[in-house]
Amino acid sequence: IHNDLRQKEKLAVIGQMAAAVAHEIKNPLSSLKGFTQLQQEKDKGDDQYYPIMLNEIDRINSIVNDLLILGKPNTAVKTPKNLENIIDYVTSVIDPHAQRKDITINLDIKEPYFLLCDENQLKQVFINLIKNAMEAMPQGGTITIKAKPGSDHVKISVIDEGCGIHPDKLAKLGEPFYTTKNNGNGLGLMVTKKIIEEHDGNIDIQSELDKGTNVTITLPTTQKNG
């Protein structure tokens, strides 16, 4: 038990350092992006490398943002929110990208559910899950988002018809930096898991190779008043 505590303290310190470093990187990174964009304007006609540079800067930024969330202790500020509003917002942001990739997003949420939650963090969760679903379907297809009621909770599933996950690899999903993508960072599911746990929920992933993946999140519901 003593060793376990020491280990936990160590991990907490490493997490805080990662968050502090991530925070320090954000400002110089943002000026680097700004000046890169300015230079791109100047070099019109000879600007083939700028999109790559800007894309790479965005990637560093997304890693830094994920590390910030992962390194910090629970920062959720919770208020009652309607689940459907959160999902509607996220799908409206993603829909244009989905359409370009021949992906349809189907919503199946029949009743209102109220969650005591940090709205921005839950938006992040659904963005991460829908992005993974899209990236699993390079040829297009359908993503279904379903909500099913329980006595004091709701089960929300994000279901895709994509490449699926090999059974041997399922266990690796919680590991930091595990990615099968060229431009992935392997932090999305860790961030998702952390946010869901901080909302007293849990996450379950079922997958079949070449058939698709079903990620189901269970979250406690609250009385309507917000």
What amino acid is encoded at 181 in this protein? K
Q: Verify binding: residue 201, ligand ADP, rule CB under 6 A.
A: no
* Residue 217 interacts with, from ligand ADP, Mg ion, none (CB under 5-8 Å by kind): none
Residue 71 to residue 17: CA distance in whole angstroms? 7
Q: Does 163 bind ligand ADP (CB under 6 A)?
A: yes
- Determine, following the binding rule CB under 5 A, whether residue 188 of this chain makes contact with Mg ion: yes
184 touches ligand ADP by CB under 6 A: yes
Query: Which partner, ligand ADP, Mg ion, none, binds residue 85 by CB below 5 to 8 Å per kind?
Result: none
Site string for ligand ADP, 25-64 (x = CB under 6 A): ----------------------------------------
Q: Which residues contact 78 (CB under 8 A, 6 or more apart)?
A: 116, 117, 118, 199
Per-residue exposure over 97-125, b if at least 16 CB sit within 10 Å of its own CB, e if not:
ebeeeebebeeebeeebbbbbbbebbbbb
Tracing tokens 């600007």 back to the chain, one arrives at: 47
Q: In what order do the strands lie in the sheet with 141-149?
A: 103-108, 141-149, 153-159, 212-220, 202-208
Over the window 90 to 129, marking each residue x when it contacts ligand ADP by CB under 6 A and - when it does not, the resulting string is --------------------------------------x-
Give the footprint of Mg ion on residues 113-132 (CB under 5 A).
132
Which of the choices Mg ion, ligand ADP, none does residue 165 contact, using the CB cut-off of 5 to 8 A by kind? ligand ADP
Handedness of CA 114, 115, 119, 122 (dihedral sign): negative
What is the smallest separation between the CB atom of 174 and ligand ADP, expressed in angstroms?
9
Residue 144, strand partner residues: 106, 159
d(CA 194, CA 190): 6
Nearer to ligand ADP, 218 or 221 (CB): 218
- In the complex, the residues that contact ligand ADP under the rule CB under 6 A are 128, 132-133, 136, 160, 162-165, 173, 178-181, 184-189, 213
